[in-house]
Structure 1
Amino acid sequence: MLEARTALVTGAGKGIGRAVAAALVREGARVGLVARTRADLDRVAEELAGFSGDDASRIAVAAADVGQRDQVERAVAELRKRLGPIDVLVNNAGIAKFGAILDMPPEDWEAMQRVNVLGTYYVTRAVLPDMIAARRGDVINVASTAGEKGVANTSSYAASKAAVLRFTESLAAEVRRHDVRVTALLPSTVNTELASAVGLTIGPEERMMQTDDVAQLVVAMLRLPPRVFVRDVSLLTTNPV
């Protein structure tokens, strides 16, 4: 159980973020939900209230575009006021669009870097002082196996996830002395609305990696003793055929 932990999950309105938030609430953590769309957050918060027993005060929401630093700082301040200092951060918010370099509008290329890379940086920078002060914390960055190797038509997405991996490594080396763990999760294709929207499907749906699978790993990592420092974990789906 994680009753003593206070978590912030980005991209919590659906998909992996929603599954991670649900798993953390079930484990007894206080959980702040961040996403761009307030209606999605309110719906998820209502769902999660059923997992929290009589203590719905363990769940708080703040709408923000993680690619906008002022919105991030405002959201983190609001959640800190509601829930207390944050010692678990799951940087899950991300967007994806594929296409050839010359076919993709520069605005789309730039948007992926802003959300996937700068968003990860902005939220981490906003919560890190709490963790350093407490000498305890976990930052879990949801990257992708796409960040390990570029392939045609994925230049912006692959570049953004590669940047998240290097950010994770650098930050881990920087804050390890403060007893703050920084870990990258590298899922392959997960059965989400986002994957479906960009045409990423692998075999039968039931054979694909599910959002709850990723959430279970997040919980397992948070249960590790503080002396165990995991830098990155790859999640590969089983053979789907």
Structure 2
Amino acid sequence: WNDQLAIVTGASGGLGASIAKKLIARGCGGVICVDIKNNEWLQKGEGNNYPRAKSIRCDISRPEEITQLANTIKEQFSDRKVSILISNAGIMHGAPLLDLPEGQFEKTINVNFTSSYYLLRAFLPDMISAGRGHIVATSSVMAYLGVSRLSDYVASKHALTGLMESLRYELDKIYRKPNIRTSIVVLGQMTTPLFSKYKMSSIGGFLMPLQDPDSVAEDIVDNIHLNKSSYIYRPYLARLATIVQAMPQWIRDLAQKISGADEAFQN
């Protein structure tokens, strides 16, 4: 682990911060915490506990800033290449399709999905040259199930999951680099600000209980340590999303009603 250099997007708080801390605790040689916000946990006293973590501000919805990010990293870490890329940043607005503010759909897609494409363009070539690496994307059960008031978010997670699945086969069949691993994190709800306004029914909450970001981060870092490609489902019943997707429409509609998913987002 000591020779590994990791990038974690959305690392100023929530799951991203937890992942960064866990990577450092496991002995990762360096962790670059990327976010559009100031990284307060690193700037304050807590940062003294993580000397191998560095914060870089970047608006990943803008391709030119990702290019600048890559250049900055190459200058500041000239002795090593990025070997772990964790595309975790995400936003959620919450409004019916026709009520989304001007530009919000594009912003959600750019942050939650398109940024991953440009991050791969920037850092995957070095992984291919080295013949190793691990790429992790934080997705959602909504990559499989659409819900009301979240059309932009749902679309972004569908796209991200498809990108990662295609990448897995390209690495195996085209680039011939099976040692570059890919993992998709399929999440329900977490106790983070992103989900603060998302309230499911009691049954929905039972099936998809709130997840602690530290616990989810532990699973992600464990998987990287095992050096294998995989799906990481949290909670365990997040697997049901892939099953419900294959069911007849009336069963899907019933499951949607029971879970309260369509009424879950409180504006």
What TM-score results when the alignment is normalised by the length of structure 1? 0.86
Against the structure 1 CA distance between its residues 200 and 12, is the aligned structure 2 distance closer, same or farther, given a 3 Å change threshold?
farther
5+ residue gaps, structure 2: 238-267
Please give the residue correspondences for 1:185-204 in structure 2 after superposition, counting only pairs within 5 Å.
185-196=185-196, 198-200=197-199
Report if aligned partners of 2:88, 2:138 keep a CA contact under 8 Å in 1: yes
Give the structure 1 partner of residue 10 of structure 2. 11
| 1:168-189 Cα deviation digits (max 9, x unpaired) | 0011111132121111101100
Report if aligned partners of 1:143, 1:184 keep a CA contact under 8 Å in 2: yes
5+ residue gaps, structure 1: none
Give the structure 1 partner of residue 142 of structure 2. 146
Is 1:59 paired with 2:71?
A: no
Find the aligned partners of 2:201 and 2:2 in 1 and give their Cα distance.
37
Larger-gyration structure (1/2) = 2
Find the aligned partners of 1:111 and 1:24 in 2 and give their Cα distance.
29
Report if aligned partners of 2:41, 2:47 keep a CA contact under 8 Å in 1: no
Against the structure 1 CA distance between its residues 117 and 42, is the aligned structure 2 distance closer, same or farther, given a 3 Å change threshold?
same
Give the structure 2 partner of residue 74 of structure 1. 68
Give the structure 2 partner of residue 98 of structure 1. 94
Give the drift of 1:4.
2.6
Q: Counterpart amino acid of 1:222? A: I
Give the structure 2 partner of residue 215 of structure 1. 217
Please give the residue correspondences for 1:80-91 in structure 2 after superposition, counting only pairs within 5 Å.
80-83=74-77, 84-91=80-87
Give the drift of 1:42.
5.0
Q: Counterpart amino acid of 1:34? A: V
Find the aligned partners of 2:162 and 2:62 in 1 and give their Cα distance.
21
Give the drift of 1:201.
6.7
Against the structure 1 CA distance between its residues 162 and 5, is the aligned structure 2 distance closer, same or farther, given a 3 Å change threshold?
same
Report percent identity of matched pairs: 27
Give the drift of 1:208.
2.4
Give the drift of 1:77.
2.1
Q: Across the two proteins, how many residue pairs are aligned to each other?
A: 226
Give the drift of 1:97.
1.2
Give the drift of 1:161.
0.3
Against the structure 1 CA distance between its residues 48 and 72, is the aligned structure 2 distance closer, same or farther, given a 3 Å change threshold?
farther
Report if aligned partners of 1:25, 1:48 keep a CA contact under 8 Å in 2: no
